[in-house]
Structure 1
Amino acid sequence: MDRTLVIKATAGHDDPERCNQAFTVAAAAVASGVQVSLWLTGEASWFAVPGRAAEFSLPHAAPLPDLLESVLAAGSITVCTQCAARRELTQADLIDGVRIAGAPTFVEEITRDGAQALVY
Protein backbone atom coordinates (compact mmCIF):
# COMPACT_ATOMS: atom_id res chain seq x y z
CA MET A 1 0.00 0.00 0.00
CA ASP A 2 1.30 3.45 -0.90
CA ARG A 3 1.45 5.91 1.97
CA THR A 4 0.44 9.53 1.52
CA LEU A 5 1.35 12.30 3.91
CA VAL A 6 -1.14 15.17 3.94
CA ILE A 7 0.29 18.20 5.74
CA LYS A 8 -1.73 21.28 6.59
CA ALA A 9 0.28 24.45 7.25
CA THR A 10 -1.85 26.93 9.18
CA ALA A 11 0.80 29.51 10.07
CA GLY A 12 2.93 31.98 8.18
CA HIS A 13 4.91 34.99 9.32
CA ASP A 14 2.69 35.03 12.42
CA ASP A 15 4.29 31.80 13.74
CA PRO A 16 7.50 31.20 11.78
CA GLU A 17 8.70 28.09 13.61
CA ARG A 18 5.42 26.24 13.17
CA CYS A 19 5.29 27.35 9.55
CA ASN A 20 8.83 26.20 8.89
CA GLN A 21 8.16 22.85 10.54
CA ALA A 22 5.32 22.09 8.13
CA PHE A 23 7.40 22.94 5.06
CA THR A 24 10.49 21.10 6.38
CA VAL A 25 8.54 17.92 7.12
CA ALA A 26 6.85 18.08 3.71
CA ALA A 27 10.17 18.52 1.90
CA ALA A 28 11.85 15.77 3.94
CA ALA A 29 9.00 13.40 3.14
CA VAL A 30 9.24 14.19 -0.58
CA ALA A 31 13.00 13.61 -0.46
CA SER A 32 12.30 10.24 1.19
CA GLY A 33 10.01 9.21 -1.64
CA VAL A 34 6.76 9.68 0.27
CA GLN A 35 3.76 11.00 -1.64
CA VAL A 36 3.03 14.45 -0.16
CA SER A 37 0.06 16.78 -0.34
CA LEU A 38 0.79 20.14 1.32
CA TRP A 39 -2.21 22.32 2.18
CA LEU A 40 -1.67 26.02 2.80
CA THR A 41 -4.31 27.58 5.03
CA GLY A 42 -4.57 30.77 7.04
CA GLU A 43 -1.50 32.96 6.76
CA ALA A 44 0.43 30.14 5.04
CA SER A 45 -1.79 30.77 1.99
CA TRP A 46 0.36 33.75 1.08
CA PHE A 47 3.32 31.47 0.30
CA ALA A 48 1.50 30.22 -2.81
CA VAL A 49 1.87 33.70 -4.32
CA PRO A 50 5.05 34.15 -6.40
CA GLY A 51 7.82 35.83 -4.42
CA ARG A 52 6.09 35.64 -1.04
CA ALA A 53 8.11 32.66 0.23
CA ALA A 54 11.31 34.65 -0.38
CA GLU A 55 10.12 37.20 2.20
CA PHE A 56 10.14 34.51 4.92
CA SER A 57 13.24 34.10 7.05
CA LEU A 58 13.99 31.92 10.05
CA PRO A 59 17.49 31.44 11.48
CA HIS A 60 18.96 27.96 10.96
CA ALA A 61 16.15 26.96 8.61
CA ALA A 62 16.29 26.00 4.95
CA PRO A 63 15.03 28.78 2.68
CA LEU A 64 11.27 28.52 2.29
CA PRO A 65 11.39 28.96 -1.51
CA ASP A 66 13.63 25.87 -1.74
CA LEU A 67 11.31 23.80 0.44
CA LEU A 68 8.27 24.98 -1.52
CA GLU A 69 9.94 24.16 -4.83
CA SER A 70 10.90 20.65 -3.75
CA VAL A 71 7.37 19.86 -2.58
CA LEU A 72 5.84 21.26 -5.76
CA ALA A 73 8.28 19.28 -7.94
CA ALA A 74 7.36 15.89 -6.49
CA GLY A 75 4.13 16.44 -4.55
CA SER A 76 1.11 18.68 -4.60
CA ILE A 77 0.32 22.03 -3.01
CA THR A 78 -3.19 23.28 -2.36
CA VAL A 79 -4.52 26.56 -1.02
CA CYS A 80 -7.73 26.39 0.97
CA THR A 81 -10.68 27.84 -0.96
CA GLN A 82 -11.96 29.99 1.91
CA CYS A 83 -8.46 31.13 2.87
CA ALA A 84 -7.80 32.21 -0.72
CA ALA A 85 -11.12 34.05 -0.87
CA ARG A 86 -10.47 35.89 2.40
CA ARG A 87 -7.17 37.10 0.95
CA GLU A 88 -8.74 37.85 -2.44
CA LEU A 89 -6.44 35.32 -4.12
CA THR A 90 -7.50 33.60 -7.32
CA GLN A 91 -5.88 30.81 -9.29
CA ALA A 92 -4.22 33.46 -11.48
CA ASP A 93 -2.42 34.86 -8.40
CA LEU A 94 -0.73 31.57 -7.49
CA ILE A 95 2.50 29.84 -8.44
CA ASP A 96 2.04 27.53 -11.42
CA GLY A 97 1.07 24.08 -10.23
CA VAL A 98 -0.60 25.20 -6.99
CA ARG A 99 -4.34 24.61 -6.88
CA ILE A 100 -7.23 25.96 -4.85
CA ALA A 101 -9.56 23.41 -3.26
CA GLY A 102 -11.86 23.16 -0.29
CA ALA A 103 -12.70 21.06 2.71
CA PRO A 104 -14.35 18.22 0.74
CA THR A 105 -11.08 17.63 -1.14
CA PHE A 106 -9.07 17.78 2.09
CA VAL A 107 -11.40 15.25 3.75
CA GLU A 108 -11.16 13.00 0.69
CA GLU A 109 -7.35 13.07 0.87
CA ILE A 110 -7.05 12.42 4.60
CA THR A 111 -9.56 9.55 4.63
CA ARG A 112 -7.96 7.54 1.83
CA ASP A 113 -6.40 4.22 2.79
CA GLY A 114 -2.76 4.77 3.66
CA ALA A 115 -3.12 8.49 4.37
CA GLN A 116 -1.55 10.21 7.36
CA ALA A 117 -2.51 13.79 8.17
CA LEU A 118 -0.42 16.29 10.11
CA VAL A 119 -1.51 19.80 11.01
CA TYR A 120 0.96 22.52 11.92
Structure 2
Amino acid sequence: MGRSLVIKATSGADAKERCNQAFTVAAAGVAAGAKVSLWLTGEAAWYALPGRAEEFELPHATPLRDLLEVVLAGGTVTVCSQCAARRDIGPDDVIPGVRIAGAPTFVEEVMAEGAQALVY
Protein backbone atom coordinates (compact mmCIF):
# COMPACT_ATOMS: atom_id res chain seq x y z
CA MET A 1 0.00 0.00 0.00
CA GLY A 2 1.27 3.49 -0.83
CA ARG A 3 1.61 6.39 1.54
CA SER A 4 -1.45 8.15 2.81
CA LEU A 5 -1.82 11.88 3.27
CA VAL A 6 -3.95 13.13 6.17
CA ILE A 7 -4.59 16.87 6.05
CA LYS A 8 -6.31 18.87 8.77
CA ALA A 9 -7.77 22.24 7.80
CA THR A 10 -8.17 24.31 10.97
CA SER A 11 -9.38 27.58 9.48
CA GLY A 12 -11.95 28.93 7.08
CA ALA A 13 -12.87 32.46 6.11
CA ASP A 14 -10.92 33.64 9.16
CA ALA A 15 -7.61 32.63 7.48
CA LYS A 16 -8.38 32.14 3.81
CA GLU A 17 -4.85 31.46 2.56
CA ARG A 18 -4.23 28.75 5.14
CA CYS A 19 -7.62 27.18 4.42
CA ASN A 20 -7.05 27.24 0.69
CA GLN A 21 -3.59 25.71 1.12
CA ALA A 22 -5.06 22.71 2.93
CA PHE A 23 -7.63 22.10 0.18
CA THR A 24 -5.02 22.66 -2.56
CA VAL A 25 -2.56 20.18 -1.06
CA ALA A 26 -5.34 17.64 -0.54
CA ALA A 27 -6.46 17.93 -4.17
CA ALA A 28 -2.84 17.73 -5.37
CA GLY A 29 -2.39 14.59 -3.28
CA VAL A 30 -5.41 12.99 -4.94
CA ALA A 31 -4.05 13.98 -8.37
CA ALA A 32 -0.71 12.40 -7.44
CA GLY A 33 -2.41 9.13 -6.56
CA ALA A 34 -2.05 9.33 -2.78
CA LYS A 35 -4.70 8.04 -0.41
CA VAL A 36 -5.98 11.40 0.89
CA SER A 37 -8.05 12.17 3.97
CA LEU A 38 -9.05 15.81 4.46
CA TRP A 39 -10.28 16.76 7.94
CA LEU A 40 -12.34 19.93 8.35
CA THR A 41 -12.01 21.38 11.84
CA GLY A 42 -12.81 24.72 13.40
CA GLU A 43 -14.16 27.22 10.89
CA ALA A 44 -13.29 24.87 8.00
CA ALA A 45 -16.20 22.68 9.15
CA TRP A 46 -18.59 25.07 7.39
CA TYR A 47 -17.25 23.94 3.99
CA ALA A 48 -18.86 20.54 4.51
CA LEU A 49 -22.25 22.17 4.00
CA PRO A 50 -23.83 22.51 0.56
CA GLY A 51 -23.09 25.86 -1.07
CA ARG A 52 -20.52 27.05 1.47
CA ALA A 53 -17.43 26.26 -0.64
CA GLU A 54 -18.98 28.28 -3.48
CA GLU A 55 -18.99 31.34 -1.22
CA PHE A 56 -15.24 31.14 -0.60
CA GLU A 57 -13.17 33.58 -2.67
CA LEU A 58 -9.41 34.02 -2.74
CA PRO A 59 -7.63 35.83 -5.58
CA HIS A 60 -5.36 33.66 -7.77
CA ALA A 61 -6.60 30.46 -6.13
CA THR A 62 -8.48 27.51 -7.59
CA PRO A 63 -12.09 27.76 -6.42
CA LEU A 64 -12.57 25.88 -3.16
CA ARG A 65 -15.62 24.05 -4.54
CA ASP A 66 -13.43 22.59 -7.34
CA LEU A 67 -10.77 21.46 -4.87
CA LEU A 68 -13.41 19.91 -2.62
CA GLU A 69 -14.93 18.04 -5.57
CA VAL A 70 -11.52 16.53 -6.40
CA VAL A 71 -11.00 15.37 -2.84
CA LEU A 72 -14.51 13.96 -2.56
CA ALA A 73 -14.04 12.08 -5.84
CA GLY A 74 -10.71 10.51 -4.93
CA GLY A 75 -10.32 10.67 -1.16
CA THR A 76 -12.27 11.16 2.03
CA VAL A 77 -13.56 14.32 3.70
CA THR A 78 -14.35 14.30 7.40
CA VAL A 79 -15.75 16.94 9.73
CA CYS A 80 -14.52 16.81 13.32
CA SER A 81 -17.41 15.63 15.50
CA GLN A 82 -16.85 18.25 18.22
CA CYS A 83 -16.48 21.03 15.65
CA ALA A 84 -19.69 19.88 13.96
CA ALA A 85 -21.57 19.75 17.27
CA ARG A 86 -20.45 23.27 18.23
CA ARG A 87 -21.87 24.52 14.93
CA ASP A 88 -25.05 22.40 15.05
CA ILE A 89 -23.92 20.48 11.95
CA GLY A 90 -25.34 16.98 11.75
CA PRO A 91 -24.91 14.06 9.34
CA ASP A 92 -27.98 15.13 7.35
CA ASP A 93 -26.57 18.64 6.86
CA VAL A 94 -23.31 17.80 5.08
CA ILE A 95 -22.56 17.29 1.39
CA PRO A 96 -23.06 13.67 0.30
CA GLY A 97 -19.82 11.77 0.83
CA VAL A 98 -18.69 13.85 3.82
CA ARG A 99 -18.58 12.04 7.15
CA ILE A 100 -18.48 13.23 10.74
CA ALA A 101 -15.97 11.49 13.00
CA GLY A 102 -13.93 12.15 16.10
CA ALA A 103 -10.41 12.09 17.45
CA PRO A 104 -10.09 8.28 17.60
CA THR A 105 -10.61 8.08 13.83
CA PHE A 106 -8.13 10.90 13.21
CA VAL A 107 -5.50 9.26 15.43
CA GLU A 108 -6.02 5.92 13.67
CA GLU A 109 -5.43 7.59 10.30
CA VAL A 110 -2.33 9.52 11.29
CA MET A 111 -0.78 6.55 13.12
CA ALA A 112 -1.16 4.19 10.16
CA GLU A 113 2.08 2.97 8.66
CA GLY A 114 3.18 5.24 5.82
CA ALA A 115 0.87 8.10 6.81
CA GLN A 116 1.96 11.71 6.47
CA ALA A 117 -0.06 14.21 8.48
CA LEU A 118 -0.17 17.94 7.71
CA VAL A 119 -2.04 20.58 9.67
CA TYR A 120 -2.96 23.94 8.19
Fold shared per TM-score above 0.5: yes
Identical counterparts, % of pairs: 73
**Count of aligned residue pairs for this structure pair:** 120
Q: Look up the match of 2:90.
A: 90
Displacement of 1:39:
0.1
Note the 1:1-120 alignment, pairs <5 A: 1-120=1-120
Unaligned runs of 5+ in 2: none
Unaligned runs of 5+ in 1: none
- Structure 1 length as normaliser, TM-score? 0.99
Question: What's the Cα RMSD here?
Answer: 0.5
Write out per-residue CA displacement over residues 2-55 of structure 1, whole angstroms, 9 at most, x where no aligned residue. Answer: 100000000000000000000000001100111100000000000000000001
Q: List structure 1 runs of 4+ shifted beyond 4 angstroms.
A: none
Q: Which residue identity is paired with 2:79?
A: V
Query: In structure 1, the residue corresponding to 2:47 is in which secondary structure?
Result: helix
Q: Which residue identity is paired with 1:66?
A: D
Q: Which residue identity is paired with 1:16?
A: K
